[in-house]
Structure 1
Amino acid sequence: MGSPVDNLVDLLDLEQIEVNIFRGRSPEESLQRVFGGQVAGQALVAASRTVDPDRPVHSLHAYFLRPGTPGVPIVYQVDRIRDGRSFTTRRVLGVQQGKTIFALTADFHLPEETPFEHQTAMPDVPAPEDVPSALDEVGSVLGELPPFISRRQPFDLRYVERLRWTEEELKGVEPRSAVWLRTNGTLPDDPLIHTCAVTYASDMTLLDAVRVPVEPLWGKRHFDMASLDHAMWFHRPFRADEWLLYQQESPVAVGGRGLARGQIFDRQGRLVVSVMQEGLFRRIA
């Protein structure tokens, strides 16, 4: 067994079994479903393997259709929708045990000179060195780490605001959250690995913004949740092994679904990725 970061890189290294068909490993876990960030990251790798490397991905739109089974490989079928002068489009279906569990459309763009630039400002938050590691904080309070923590071990996650552990502490809390993140080790220089690593990580904490007013983020859960869809826009190059601020908020939660949006900034304050996700929330009986 390698380090968690080595395992992440290995997880994103798909086997090509036919033209436009790839197979991804799914780790054996005690949890009920495959982690959505894993499937999204692997599907993006599959799409990227059919595109010229001089065209980086600029957006992806995905739907989580069925829960995946841990320990069972996932086959990714790539459809080459369009190869234009500036844009390339790919559609990917993730299939497991004969059923489609995931669908992704990704668009790739040949970089161009921009006629103008603007972006929203990065929030003024404490530096990552000034806030504790989430794993250290959770371990010190709970005494043990939840089983899903294995999915987060490749990353150093640091919540900007202190974690809340009781119902009383949740009163008046706004539906937003922010976390610093980077991989727990250096990644290879291949930009695709960094993009797919952040795609993996983008699903780990985004729905926290929906949950934070109603239940502690760690510990016993009152609601079962599942990602329904996921969209990302990649604005600028970045490294996933350097600190990134993931600012998250939820504009609405209604009808059993909560919508969350995120902005990922690098340490220099540049907005590098935008994210949207809707999740299903049901009270645990």
Structure 2
Amino acid sequence: MNELEKLLKYFELEHLEVNLFRGQSLDIGTGRIFGGQALSQALKAAYLTTEEHQVHSLHAYFLREGDCNKPVVYQVERARDGRTFSNRRVSAIQNGKPILILACSFQKFEKGMEHQKAIPKVPLPDELTEKTLIPGDKIKHLSPRMRRTLTTQGPFEFRFVDDVDPFDSEPKEPIKRIWFKARYPLEADQSMHRTLLTFVSDFHLVSTATLPHGVSYLDPKLQFASLDHAMWFHRPFQIDDWLLYDCDSPSASEARGFATGHVFDIKGNLVASTAQQGLMRMWDKPE
């Protein structure tokens, strides 16, 4: 299997009971469950209880660190089923405690008034090349686990509009723009494309809030963790075609960084928006 096929296996949730599902955990090398995994598996569990609807928004809180060596149980509450909208609440449970709670809303497709903000003027993906996130001379300073995480070719290809060295201590404007897509063609319905975008939306977003402060999100003295995550889906899209993630951080305060993102397709259509808040606290972490 290629890397995308391996990832899709994690969305084949086991049906335990009515409204109860179990998903296996993915180890991306951090030692804990990746937030995007819990988000997207919870969304997948909600999808398994709906028909003829597509998710149009979701709001989640990360409550506890998850163990990537154990599966996660997803309990779905069918809050409402209407003619146009359906709502679900999902608890992601591990060791008898929720590690994430998700509320999401689904809608049957309907036409209506349209407008959108314009895509920023940036180089197209064909004008950029794929580069490692960490410069070669600094990879050797990482732990073996982080080295594997940041250098392994995953199911998505990222092309950065601006070169960002996470170890650079020079303060920068809190903006990050990245083209990305699945590495392999994906023959799936729109629900899987939206589930995979939920997964990948957790990459690179809230770390934008560290840029003005000249601190690396890889700094062991920085306690850095996602607190919540929200998404809005505006238009259909294909995740195996290029998408631009336009991220910016309008604020950081009270040990929290806040970032927003807009996702555009290659034609300039705004297909989704995101918002995320993360803990940003400097501390004396033991070795």
SS class of match (1:212): helix
Contact 2:244 2:266 in 1 (8 A): yes
CA contact (8 A) 2:134 2:165 kept: no
Cα distance between partner residues in 2 of 1:242 and 1:205: 19
Task: Tell me the equivalent position of 1:154.
Answer: 155
Name the SS for the 1:204 alignment partner: coil
Q: Counterpart of 1:91 in structure 2: which amino acid?
A: R
SS at the partner of 2:203? helix
Number of the residue aligned with 2:53: 55
Distance 1:221 1:268, change over 3 A: farther
* Closer, same or farther: CA 160–262 of 1 in aligned 2, 3 Å: same
**d(CA) in 2 for partners of 1:3, 1:24:** 20
**Offset at 1:12?**
1.6
Residues 166 and 31 of structure 1: is their aligned pair in 2 closer, same or farther, counting only changes over 3 Å? closer
| Residues in 2 aligned to 1:5 and 1:87: alpha-carbon distance in whole angstroms | 31
**1:146-184 deviation per Cα after TM superposition (whole angstroms, max 9, x unaligned):** 34338971110111111236545x23x211111111112
Determine if contact 1:34/1:70 at 8 Å carries over to the other structure.
yes
Q: Does 1:140 align with 2:136?
A: yes
Opposite residue 71 of structure 1, the aligned amino acid is N
Q: Which residue matches 1:40? A: 39
Matched, 1:92 2:98: no
Alpha-carbon distance between aligned partners in 1 of 2:175 and 2:153, rounded to the nearest angstrom: 20
Superposed displacement of residue 17, structure 1? 1.1
Residue deviations 1:33-90 (CA, integer Å, cap 9, x gap)? 21000000000000001000x2100000000010101110000000000001110000
Which of 52, 56, 74 pairs up with 2:72? 74
Whichever residue aligns with residue 18 of structure 1, its letter is E
In structure 2, the CA distance between the partners of 1:217 and 1:148, relative to structure 1 (3 Å rule), is farther
Distance (whole Å) between structure 1 residues aligned to residue 177 and residue 126 of structure 2: 15
Q: Structure 1 unaligned runs (5+)? A: none
Following the alignment from structure 1 to structure 2, what is the Cα–Cα distance between the partners of residues 58 and 199? 12
CA distance in 2 between partners of 1:30 and 1:37 (Å): 14
Encode CA deviations 1:127-156: one digit per residue, 9 max, x unaligned. 112222143x53634346634338971110
Aligned: 1:118 with 2:115: yes
Distance 2:152 2:201 in 1: 12
Do structure 1's residue 205 and structure 2's residue 204 form an aligned pair?
Answer: yes
Give the Cα–Cα distance (whole angstroms) in 2 for the partners of residues 20 and 150 of structure 1.
Answer: 38
Alignment TM-score, normalising by the size of structure 2:
0.91
Q: Is the 2:26–2:34 contact (alpha carbons within 8 Å) kept by the matching residues of 1? A: no
- SS at structure 2 position matched to 1:50: coil
Q: Distance in 2 between matches of 1:200 and 1:152?
A: 16
Opposite residue 106 of structure 2, the aligned amino acid is F
- Contact 2:247 2:259 (C-alpha < 8 Å) held by counterparts: yes
Cα distance in 2 for partners of 1:57, 1:254 equals 31
Q: Report if the CA contact (8 A) 1:156-1:181 is conserved.
A: yes
Classify 1:161/1:113 alpha carbon distance in 2 versus 1 (closer, same or farther; 3 Å). Answer: same
TM-score, normalized by length of structure 1? 0.91
CA–CA separation in structure 2 for the residues paired with 1:56 and 1:50: 12
Provide the rounded CA distance (Å) in 1 between the counterparts of 2:216 and 2:168: 11
1:238–1:152 Cα change, 3 Å: farther
Whole-Å Cα distance in 2 between the matches of residues 152 and 181 of structure 1?
Answer: 13
* Residue in 1 that maps onto 2:125: 128
User: Counterpart of 1:213 in 2: which secondary structure?
Assistant: helix
Note if contact 2:207-2:217 (Cα within 8 Å) is conserved in structure 1: no
2:134–2:150 Cα contact (<8 Å) kept: no
8 Å Cα contact 1:163-1:217 kept in structure 2: no
Secondary structure of the residue aligned to 1:203 is coil
Q: Provide closer, same or farther for how the CA distance between residues 58 and 127 of structure 1 changes in structure 2, counting only shifts above 3 A.
A: same
SS at match of 2:201: helix
